[in-house]
């Protein structure tokens, strides 16, 4: 049950520059001093109502929203009117309410697919990708282009992604959609505040100003200026994709999803989600599972260290061990039961399991979601992964680890990226309405 | 600058059981519905004022507190009166204010050492310990008893700790102090909600009801009944000890301390602190650095796995490699430069560095604090630890890892435990005043 509060700032007689940390009131209130108050409460409630509509698996009525938020019916009606007028919410029905309980059938409310969309972008070691997601979570546009960027300069590679982004925005606008913003998935250490890709070991890139390079396209620069163009680690965004997907499957109650998402491509990364939020550590550079040592004296890694997981379970390492050159070949040979290939996959699974068990022992999660390459190879990897987890996870007897396979394939990161934009619109629709 | 707000619940016409999560107002306000409001705001502000007094390195005036909290001077005076009457705050001075700035000298306020204290307890593999800390953070009582518990039943071992706790409470009461509560440090996976020690590999214990066993002592049972007797992992509590110590040295600004505390004893554990709070993961079982594999095919570990850090850098492993039988001998031999001993310490440092680098890559912290055994051996361990971190931490060029040595010795966990009790009194003095 949501509570509704009216809060009012009490002007202080003197407010010298102090050093104390604020604990008297929630941060949300501190953002709304003095005269802005009325406005901010309404903005907040607009987001609350839109969220109830967007997150519901079936159409909801105004009465449902009033019950779920604790807002009065007249307040809900007035907010819904604004959202319908802005074409963020659409009316359907009348339909019978879920459960067929008491109360006459009402007009149903759903997320409108006509007004606004989020753009997800990905620049990875050997492909670039984009997708546009509308407010109902439907994919309206998707492009994935294989392109090995290991010999390409960062400026050239990012320029290619920028052109793909502009095409995606054009495609969305042709359908009448406004692209509210974009999130960019990158394969390495990302410093979000200044839009820099600090390190991408498999590309050999350091300190690349991705946000600056993207902003050479005027339409992306406009997004960047209003703070609507952000960069993040690809595994983090893929983890958000998995989170959205689990919400859509109604497998997660609200924010109660804690898991480790492991993204296997040429590089191997992870996103750690605790109670529905990405755990970012001190600088946002956590989750680097690909560089945990499987054998500290093992083969050299592109990161400069030795024996990292990527050298055992990254795509190229697995293909090399299987003496094959592509993923489809690998899947076919494994399906045919070729011994060398099955052995290579067991070894990769064992390495993956050792690293996953380490992460589980450090961050204490009980669900591991395999994504990217690992989703396609799950059938052959999982037994070895489970064996290592069973032997190495200290809490296994009390919190047994479940392994799941991500169903989003290679699209997890672009879906998570686009979804993060859509979610920010849902949380603050007022920004869009005033633009 | 703290803002002060007056908040008022708006009663809702109908509030059916809803499923939405509360986002309209801060959680603190939701705890204070309807008529309780006036009471709760005052309770909260009492804690705010007491915190300013306790955390200040030198005496503060009522005017200082008003400036730092944003409360009016008359409100501060009235709250201080309550705290002085309860003997939680004592008056000293008059003294000149720090910096010698404008304003007449005022009466200084300090934490009173006469009224209340926290009890810290530890049951570890080969010792039990207790300490009593007063509101000013001074140790008023301390007992450490070496006792190898590996052959002792859990019931007998915990009964010994309970007697030690009762003696500590008696000693505190003899000085006129009320022991507000106790926190118990345990070497393994702790399930705080039901007071269970799930697993202590080095003791061979599983599912021990520590809270229940402690509660056989009536005075501890009384504490348990009012929720003032809690259990936690020893590395987590030692990390809190380091946090308090860093605050005391004025090295941390407010909550801005992010670090990995590594506790080396017979077992090896870690506490992860992000922005001043313990990171607990899904169930509170994170930080198990002692069971990260240094070599997946290495020697068997008491946890059932192979090649865990404890088998390379736990106290017994280091002594075995050095062919010595006690820590003082080890320190002496290392100081004398005995080659075998220096080699054993370098190997242990390398193993520790490999595991620490893994944790840093997963949770992204840039400060590593060595505690327990590792503090005493830091001189010989740190070069190898640094070499591994330098080679293995992906973000090292942008967020170089600093290694610090904890100055609390073996007392870190009992100090952190007692300090956590004191901090809960400071946050909610009203609980104590109403008792």
Percentage of chain A beyond pLDDT 70 is: 87
Residue of A nearest to B254 (CA): A21
Indicate the residue of A4, A284, A362 with minimum beta-carbon distance to B10. Answer: A4
Residue of B nearest to A284 (CA): B364
pLDDT bracket for residue B18 (50, 70, 90): very low
Q: Is the pLDDT of residue B298 over 80?
A: yes
Are the beta carbons of B282 and A365 separated by less than 8 Å?
A: yes
CA-based nearest residue to A415, from A261, A251, A287, A222: A261
SS (H, E, C) chain B: CCCCEEEEECCCCCCCCCCCCCCCCCHHHHCCCHHHHHHHHHHHHHHHHHHHHHHCCCCECHHHHHHHHCCCHHHHHHHHHHHHHCCCEEEEEEECCHHHCCCCCEEEEEECCCCEEEEEEEECCCEEEEEEEECCCCEEEEEEEECCCCCCCHHHHHHHHHHHHHHHHHHHHHCCCEEEEEEEEECCEEEHHHCEEEEECCCCEEEEEHHHHHCCCHHHHHHHHCCCEEEEEHHHHHHHHHHHHHHHCCCCCCCCCCEEEEEECCCEEEEEEECCEECCCCCCCCCCHHHCECCCCCCECCCCCECECHHHHCHHHHHHHHCCCCHHHHHHHHHCCCHHHHHHHHHHHHHHHHHHHHHHHHHCCCEEEEEEHHHHCHHHHHHHHHHHHHHHCCCCCCCCCEEEECCCHHHHHHHHHHHHHHHHHHHCHHHHHHC
Query: Between A36 and B174, whose confidence is greater?
Result: B174
pLDDT bracket for residue A1 (50, 70, 90): very low
Residue of A nearest to B301 (CA): A392
A96 touches chain B (CB under 8 A): no
Mean pLDDT value across residues A149-157: 95
Residue A225 in 3-state DSSP?
Answer: helix
Q: Is the pLDDT of residue B13 over 70?
A: no
Mean pLDDT value across residues B66-78: 95
Are the beta carbons of A67 and B282 separated by less than 8 Å?
A: no
Q: Which of A10-24, B69-83, B331-345 shows the lowest per-residue confidence on average (mean pLDDT)?
A: A10-24
pLDDT bracket for residue B37 (50, 70, 90): low
- Is the CB of residue B372 less than 8 Å from the CB of residue B410? yes
CA-based nearest residue to A217, from A189, A191, A174, A179: A179
Are the beta carbons of A14 and B67 separated by less than 8 Å?
A: yes
Q: What is the pLDDT of residue A6?
A: 32
- Is the CB of residue B381 less than 8 Å from the CB of residue B90? no
Q: What is the pLDDT of residue A33?
A: 33
Query: Between B26 and B323, whose confidence is greater?
Result: B323
Q: Is the pLDDT of residue A123 over 90?
A: yes
Angstrom distance (rounded) from CA A59 to CA A74: 19
- Encode pLDDT of B383-430 as tens digits: 999 999 999 999 999 999 999 999 998 999 999 999 999 999 999 998
Q: What is the pLDDT of residue A303?
A: 94
- Is the CB of residue B53 less than 8 Å from the CB of residue B429? no
- Is the CB of residue B71 less than 8 Å from the CB of residue B64? no
Residues of A in contact with B368 (CB under 8 A): none
Q: What is the pLDDT of residue A255?
A: 67
Q: Which of A13-17, B279-283, B365-369 shows the lowest per-residue confidence on average (mean pLDDT)?
A: A13-17
Percentage of chain A beyond pLDDT 90 is: 81
Calculated CA dihedral for residues A141, A145, A150, A155, nearest 10 degrees: -50
Mean pLDDT value across residues A193-214: 96
Closest CA of chain A from B314, distance in Å: 17
Closest CA of chain B from A399, distance in Å: 8
* DSSP notation for A40-103: HHHHHHHHHHHHHHHH-SS-B-HHHHHHHH---HHHHHHHHHHHHHTTSEEEEEEEPPGGG-SS
Q: H/E element holding A208?
A: strand A205-209
Angstrom distance (rounded) from CA A153 to CA A56: 45
B435 touches chain A (CB under 8 A): no
Q: Which sign does the torsion angle of CA A13, A16, A22, A27 carry?
A: positive
Indicate the residue of B26, B305, B395 with minimum beta-carbon distance to A25. Answer: B26
B99 touches chain A (CB under 8 A): no
Residues of B in contact with A258 (CB under 8 A): 281-282
Q: What is the mean pLDDT of chain B?
A: 88
Give A 55-84 residues with CB within 8 A of chain B: 67-70, 72
Residue A381 in 3-state DSSP?
Answer: helix
Q: What is the pLDDT of residue B254?
A: 56
pLDDT bracket for residue A249 (50, 70, 90): confident
Q: Tell me whether residue B176 is exposed, middle or buried, using C-beta atoms within 10 angstroms of its C-beta: 0 to 12, 13 to 18, 19 or more.
A: exposed
Q: What is the pLDDT of residue B102?
A: 47
Q: What is the pLDDT of residue B106?
A: 72
Are the beta carbons of B363 and A279 separated by less than 8 Å?
A: yes
pLDDT bracket for residue A430 (50, 70, 90): confident
A423 touches chain B (CB under 8 A): no
Mean pLDDT value across residues A89-109: 68
Q: Is the pLDDT of residue B215 over 70?
A: yes
Are the beta carbons of A395 and B366 separated by less than 8 Å?
A: no
Are the beta carbons of A303 and B48 separated by less than 8 Å?
A: no
- Is the CB of residue B195 less than 8 Å from the CB of residue B231? yes
Q: What is the pLDDT of residue A339?
A: 97
The CA-CA-CA angle for residues A181, A184, A186, to 5°, reads 170
Q: What is the pLDDT of residue B144?
A: 97
Residues of B in contact with A301 (CB under 8 A): none
Closest CA of chain A from B177, distance in Å: 29
- Encode pLDDT of A4-53 as tens digits: 333 333 333 333 333 333 222 222 223 333 334 567 888 999 999 999 99
- Sorted by sequence, the CB contacts under 8 Å of residue A59 that are 6+ apart come out as A92, A93, A95, A108, A109, A110
B26 touches chain A (CB under 8 A): yes
Residues of A in contact with B33 (CB under 8 A): 3
Are the beta carbons of A18 and B254 separated by less than 8 Å?
A: no
ipTM of this predicted structure: 0.87
- Confidence (pTM): 0.88
Percentage of chain B beyond pLDDT 70 is: 87
A395 touches chain B (CB under 8 A): yes
- Sorted by sequence, the CB contacts under 8 Å of residue B338 that are 6+ apart come out as none
Query: Between A268 and A3, whose confidence is greater?
Result: A268
pLDDT bracket for residue A93 (50, 70, 90): confident
Q: What is the pLDDT of residue B6?
A: 31
Indicate the residue of B191, B254, B281 with minimum beta-carbon distance to A365. Answer: B281
Cis preceding-peptide flag for A256 (omega within 30 of 0) = no
- Is the CB of residue A215 less than 8 Å from the CB of residue A221? yes
A201 touches chain B (CB under 8 A): yes
Q: What is the pLDDT of residue A251?
A: 73
Residues of B in contact with A197 (CB under 8 A): none
Indicate the residue of B21, B26, B281 with minimum beta-carbon distance to A364. Answer: B281
Mean pLDDT value across residues A319-333: 97
Q: What is the mean pLDDT of chain A?
A: 88
Mean pLDDT value across residues B139-151: 96
Q: Is the pLDDT of residue A64 over 50?
A: yes
Are the beta carbons of B24 and A12 separated by less than 8 Å?
A: no
* Tokens found for residue A19: 């050093």
Q: What is the pLDDT of residue B105?
A: 59
Residue A109 in 3-state DSSP?
Answer: strand
Mean pLDDT value across residues B125-129: 97
Q: What is the pLDDT of residue B433?
A: 83
């Amino acid at each position: 049950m949501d509570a509704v509060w009216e809060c009012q700032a009490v002007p202080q007689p003197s407010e010298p520059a102090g050093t104390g940390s604020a604990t008297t009131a929630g941060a949300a209130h501190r953002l709304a001093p003095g005269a802005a108050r009325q406005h901010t409460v309404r903005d907040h409630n607009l987001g609350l109502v839109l969220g109830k509509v967007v997150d519901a698996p079936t159409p909801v009525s105004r009465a449902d929203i009033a019950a779920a938020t604790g807002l009065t019916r007249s307040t809900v009606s007035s907010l819904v009117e604004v959202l319908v007028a802005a074409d963020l919410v659409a009316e359907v029905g009348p339909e019978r309410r879920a459960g067929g309980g008491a109360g006459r059938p009402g007009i149903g409310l759903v997320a409108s697919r006509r007004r606004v969309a989020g753009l997800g972008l990905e620049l990875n070691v050997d492909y670039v990708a984009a997708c546009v997601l509308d407010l109902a979570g439907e994919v309206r546009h998707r492009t994935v282009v294989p392109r090995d960027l290991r010999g390409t300069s960062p400026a050239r590679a990012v320029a290619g992604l920028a052109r793909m982004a502009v095409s995606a925005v054009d495609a969305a606008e042709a359908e009448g959609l406004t692209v509210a913003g974009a999130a960019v998935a990158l394969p390495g250490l990302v410093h979000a505040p200044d839009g820099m890709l600090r390190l991408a070991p498999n590309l050999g890139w350091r300190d690349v100003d991705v946000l600056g390079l993207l902003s050479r396209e005027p339409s992306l620069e406009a997004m960047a200026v209003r703070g609507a163009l952000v960069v993040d680690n690809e595994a983090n965004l893929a983890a958000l994709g998995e989170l959205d997907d689990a919400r859509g499957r109604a497998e997660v109650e609200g924010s109660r999803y804690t898991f480790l998402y492991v993204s296997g491509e040429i590089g191997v990364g992870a996103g750690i989600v605790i109670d529905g939020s990405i755990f970012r550590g001190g600088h946002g550079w956590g989750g680097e599972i690909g560089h945990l040592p499987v054998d500290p004296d093992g083969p050299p890694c592109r990161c400069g260290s030795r024996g990292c997981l990527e050298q055992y379970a990254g795509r190229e390492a697995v293909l090399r061990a299987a003496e094959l050159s592509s993923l489809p070949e690998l899947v076919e040979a494994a399906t045919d039961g070729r011994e060398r290939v099955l052995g290579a996959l067991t070894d990769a699974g064992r390495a993956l399991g050792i690293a996953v068990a380490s992460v589980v022992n450090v961050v204490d999660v009980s669900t591991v979601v395999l994504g990217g390459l690992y989703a396609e190879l799950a059938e052959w990897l999982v037994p070895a992964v489970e064996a290592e987890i069973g032997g190495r996870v200290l809490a296994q007897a009390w919190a047994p680890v479940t392994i799941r396979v991500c169903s989003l394939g290679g699209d997890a990161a672009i879906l998570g990226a686009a979804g993060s934009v859509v979610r920010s619109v849902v949380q603050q629709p007022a920004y869009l309405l005033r633009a």
